Amino acid sequence: MITVKDMLAAANAAVPRIGAAEARALAADPRTVLLDVRDAAEVKASGKAKGALAVSRGLLEFRADPESPLHDAAFDRAKTIIVYCASGGRSALAGKTLKDMGYADVRNLGGFKDWVEGGGEVEPG
């Protein structure tokens, strides 16, 4: 039997954690997708990182899979994907899922507060 703790440990081992400064530098590159996996209500309440793609954790696989009718063209396996959520747990799991789906360069920023406290720009959600 696997627990959430086990899943998070595997995710954190597979997906490197980065800080806000590195995330801001990478996000300036058009070959990078900044991905917010919080729920729509969370994004609406606080806004999101400027330029971030908001896809709730529950829809991630459907948006990221090119074979899915719900695929979002912003997902490109050749791009760097930086994932964040509210505190870092969902983004770690989302990052591991993306790695499992063939996205080679995935990073975990952690929480939205890390972006804000690190000087990242915010836009309405």
Which domains, from first to last, does the chain contain?
A: 4-120 (3.40.250.10)
Tokens of 23: 């995330």
Tokens of 70: 């719900």
Tokens of 3: 């627990």
Looking up tokens 């836009």 gives: 123
Looking up tokens 């997906």 gives: 15
Report the alpha-carbon distance of residue 98 to residue 86 in Å, rounded: 18
pTM: 0.95
pLDDT along the chain (125 residues), means of 10: 95 96 95 97 97 97 97 97 96 98 98 95 93
Report the alpha-carbon distance of residue 88 to residue 94 in Å, rounded: 10
Q: What is the pLDDT of residue 125?
A: 85
- Name the strand (E) or helix (H) holding 95: helix 89-100
Residue pair 89/71 in contact (Cβ under 8 Å)? The answer is no
